[in-house]
Amino acid sequence: MPDQSMPVTAAVPQALAALEDRVRRDLALIDYPAHSWVPPRHAAGEPVLDVAIVGGGQGGLATAFGLLRRKIGNIAVFDRSEAGREGPWVTFARMLTLRTPKHVTGPDLGVPSLTPRAWFEAAHGADAWDALGKISRQDWQAYLGWYRRMLDLPVHNGTAVTAVVPERHDGADLLRLTLDGPEGRRTRLARKVVLATGIDGSGAWHVPGFIRDAVPPERHAHTSAEIDFARLRGRRIGVLGAGASAFDNAATALEAGAASVTLCLRRPELPRINPYRWMENAGFLGHFAELPDLVRWRFMRHIFELNQPPPQETFWRCRRHGHFALRTGCPWDGARMDGDEIVIATPAGELRFDQLIVGTGYQIDLRLRPELDHFAADIALWRDRFTPPADEVHALLGSHPYLGEAFQFLERIPGGAPHLRHIHNFTFGATPSMGLSGASISGMRYGVDRLVSGLSRTLFLEDAGLHLDSLRRYDTPELVSLDPPHD
């Protein structure tokens, strides 16, 4: 079995070359209709993108491929990271492998030669696949890099989208994106915008205020931050949180030589059941978004209350160390500095640490997203559109955006912000509305299809008059001769 903690280089280059030939052949076989169809648009002489995608990770790449398959080619993908460092996989993700089963599909959009398995077997051999438990995060990033190159996706790296502002041109709602990148600050107009900005894309990573206020910034870090684990050698580490990322960071600190790691969670017991595994069925993935609001609310309330436990191998990665301690029923109620020590108040007494790692996830708050600053207050949230029964209230669920059938934002006040229907939220914040789809590998195959179908539909409907004019001008004869055939 290959070492899953390290990326594996292409061991079978001939097999990989053969796979790439097969990809090109497969795409050629299904390339129907084979011509673009969206009329080009300009505003005051400026070219307008049909779709701008913010985020070049797995969701943004798959969305771009889905649009290109539908012959919507006037698109661009913008990502603030350098090439090969999009998303979490080789930046702040600290698991050894993905948490999803190895046979998961998604970015391939149903093309067998583009599946993770096809790439892995070509790069490392079929025996390596058979021996594999789960795909390493480094191999997943390598797969995404190959996928992007193979499909020649139009990604602009090192380019941050810092603002999206609506503009009206010739009776049409357009969106102007402010871009900060290698060419300096510039802008682009687009008809549609897809936000594929990941887990925190509908808010921000969260560190409790009592930690931020009392503990110097160099002495605490969120699990999503860059952490110099070598600096933690010989130190006492306190970790807050029960999620998989908290355990991943605890394990990384232990492996880096921390003197001790104490992981604390408020729940009296560590969650054991992973609802994500239940959700991985075609019925839920394909049709959850079509359920009535009350039913969707009840599904998500139960899922949120179950929470997601660490995978078994992740727990064992911590538990094998004798200087790892797990404290359940141990919320952190306060923090202070006592000389050089960090003192954490808990119901069971004080704990003392040299460094804190905070695995408290993210908060859902669209106002925290700079690209949404201009109109965040106009976006409908679940609490604006749905009132649950009194005994089923859930504040976190209510703070999520209430999305339309193709992930588009809806107006909090009908008629107040018509441009919102052109902005599609393909992030983890879409989960209560759309199910497991936005930033999740497991739901990508179904989510991308729904998103791309919605984009394609609205682009066609908005241009229906232009297409009718095109039909009326169409004069290419198919019957070119009334003479007898020449045998």
What does the pLDDT look like over 290-333, one tens digit per residue?
Answer: 999 999 999 999 999 888 889 999 999 999 999 999 999 999 99
d(CA 6, CA 3): 6
Cis peptide before 275 (omega within 30 of 0): no
Nearest by Cα to 51 from 33, 69, 77, 81: 77
pLDDT attached to residue 42: 96
d(CA 250, CA 379): 37
- In 93-202, beta strands by DSSP E: 155-156, 160-169, 172-181, 184-195
pLDDT attached to residue 12: 58
Which ranges of 47-115 would DSSP assign to H, the alpha helix? 58-69
Asked if 58 and 87 count as a contact pair (C-beta separation under 8 A), the reply is yes
Note the Cα 91 to chain centre separation in Å: 14
Across the strands, what pairs with 381? Answer: 401
pLDDT means per 10 residues in the chain (487 residues)?
Answer: 40 85 97 95 96 97 98 98 95 93 92 97 96 96 97 98 95 96 95 96 96 97 96 98 95 98 96 90 95 98 89 96 97 98 97 97 94 95 97 96 98 95 97 89 92 98 97 95 89
Which residues, including other chains, have CB under 8 Å from residue 284's CB and lie 6 or more apart? 278, 435, 436
In a 3-state reduction of DSSP, which class is residue 35?
A: coil
Residue ranges per structural domain of the chain: 13-202+364-465, 207-272+309-360
d(CA 54, CA 211): 32
Query: Does 13-202+364-465 match 207-272+309-360 in CATH topology?
Result: yes
Query: For domain 13-202+364-465, which architecture applies?
Result: 3-Layer(bba) Sandwich (3.50)
Half-sphere exposure of 482 (CA within 13 A, CB side): 0
Nearest by Cα to 425 from 379, 378, 487: 379
Pairing of strands 355-358, 220-222: parallel
pLDDT attached to residue 1: 34
Query: For domain 207-272+309-360, which architecture applies?
Result: 3-Layer(bba) Sandwich (3.50)
Q: Give burial (CB, 10 Å; 0-12/13-18/19+) of 167.
A: middle
Asked if 335 and 215 count as a contact pair (C-beta separation under 8 A), the reply is yes
